[in-house]
Structure 1
Amino acid sequence: MALQPSLRPLLIAGRADAPHTLDIFLDYVCPFSGKISVTIDKILKPWVETGGPYDGKIKIIFRNQVQPWHGSSTFTHEAGLAVVRITPEKFWPFSRLLFHRQGDYYDIPTSTLTPVQIREKLASLYAESGVTREEVEAFKDLLTNKSTPNGGVSVTDDLKYTIKFSRQNGVHVSPSVLWDGLLANEISSSWGEPEWKLFLAQKVTV
């Protein structure tokens, strides 16, 4: 599947020219997305990267799946997209850290926080990713409302792209997975190595 140039870092594993594509739609404040993020890290990424059995055959693309019934979902995805702009190589490590700490951004913990406070909290999390003070300040700047009264922040257009991509593909919840552009509804966040091994053995044709 395609990615606009500014979002190429969302390709988190595999070669860009790999013929098969796993588009994995995840929400940072969804516990099931958090669960499958561990599977991506421990099972799928090693399989598609250099030396793995699917090296050169499969690429994995992270798809931001904003779920607006979770109040902080938009803010967490803005944060991920800001990292893409500033330190693209840290996008997946930051995402994994955010998934690990996702409980801090659930509905009740954030219910008494303003948008500015939530973004400050995300900036502190970004600072834990081994970035410089200047990079943290750049992160904060990207997440500051500074245009028209209803114009959003500097990564709003990127956020719109990811939401439109989900909508046009009929993706409504996370985690959802596309295999070569089609929804693979059988895939579950509970899948481990045996289920993924069987699925890929049946699907990979190159």
Structure 2
Amino acid sequence: MTTTSWHADPLTWGTGPRIFEAFLEPTCPYSVRAFNKFEELLSRAGEDKITVKIRLQSQPWHMYSGVIVRCIIAASTLEGGKQTAKKVMAAVAAHREEFEFERHAVGPNMDVTPNQIIERLERYSGVKLKEAFAIPDLDREIKWHCKYARQNGIHVSPTFMIDGLAQADMSSGDEVGAWVKKVLGN
């Protein structure tokens, strides 16, 4: 029996000592708003001062959440690793309505299959996902994200942690400058 080896690249950017973790559900509008601020956060705070870590927080009321999260993790196993995963997340963010149900329960996505969601995401991101999506034990990485969130008392997205402490007073609606002050402590 041949065993295929794979590695999910951690969704981590920057090299600084301050750790900013964001628990995101990729189709959540508030998570999308937060995701779209990370490049500016890294730039303004300084990649040598902050490390941004994305933790995927699948939520059942976002009906295709599990499929999308698996696609992102699958993308992180491909050439380019976290940058490929970031392309997939950006594609979801740019076309969020096409991966979500209206009012979490109705709309045209009621007739869409998981394969069609994957194909749609491949089309928008330019990343071929189907083969990586089918990695038999890819769920171990997905379960790690879920377990890590639960161990830290995280249940909804977006939720933010700084150096291991949940920040109840941080929001995706905050200006990036407020995030920088909070993370760097100045």
What TM-score, normalized by structure 1, do the two folds share?
Answer: 0.76
After the TM superposition, list the runs of 4 or more consecutive aligned residues in structure 1 that deviate by more than 3 angstroms: 5-9
Q: 2:71 aligns with which of 54, 79, 104?
A: 79
Pairwise CA distance, 1:19: 2.0
1:9 aligns with 2:10: yes
Deviation per CA, 1:75-110: give whole Å up to 9, x if none: 111110111001313222321221111110112342
Instruction: Work out whether 1:96 is the aligned partner of 2:90.
Output: yes
User: Is 1:25 equivalent to 2:23 in the alignment?
Assistant: yes
User: Is residue 2:149 matched to residue 1:166?
Assistant: yes
Helix, strand or coil at the partner of 1:111? helix
CA apart distance, 1:154: 4.5
Q: Hey, which of these two has a bigger chunk of helix by percent? A: 1
Aligned equivalent of 2:3: none
Q: CA RMSD in A?
A: 2.1
- What is the letter of the counterpart of residue 26 of structure 1? L
Q: Distance in 2 between matches of 1:59 and 1:172?
A: 22
Residue 171 (structure 2) pairs with residue 188 (structure 1): yes
1:193 and 1:160, CA in 2 relative to 1: closer, same or farther beyond 3 A? closer
TM normalised by structure 2 equals 0.84
- Distance, in Å, in 2 between the alignment partners of 1:195 and 1:155 is 36
CA contact (8 A) 1:32 1:175 kept: yes
Separation in 1, partners of 2:117, 2:36: 24
Report the Cα distance in structure 2 between the residues aligned to 1:165 and 1:192, rounded to whole angstroms: 27
Question: Quick check: 1:7–1:84 contact (8 Å CA) kept in 2?
Answer: yes
Unaligned runs of 5+ in 1: 146-152
Aligned twin of 1:121? 120
2:43 pairs with one of 41, 46, 49: 46
What's the CA shift for 1:122? 2.1
Does residue 142 of the first structure (1) align with residue 132 of the second (2)?
A: yes
Residue 174 of structure 1: how far off its partner (Å): 0.6
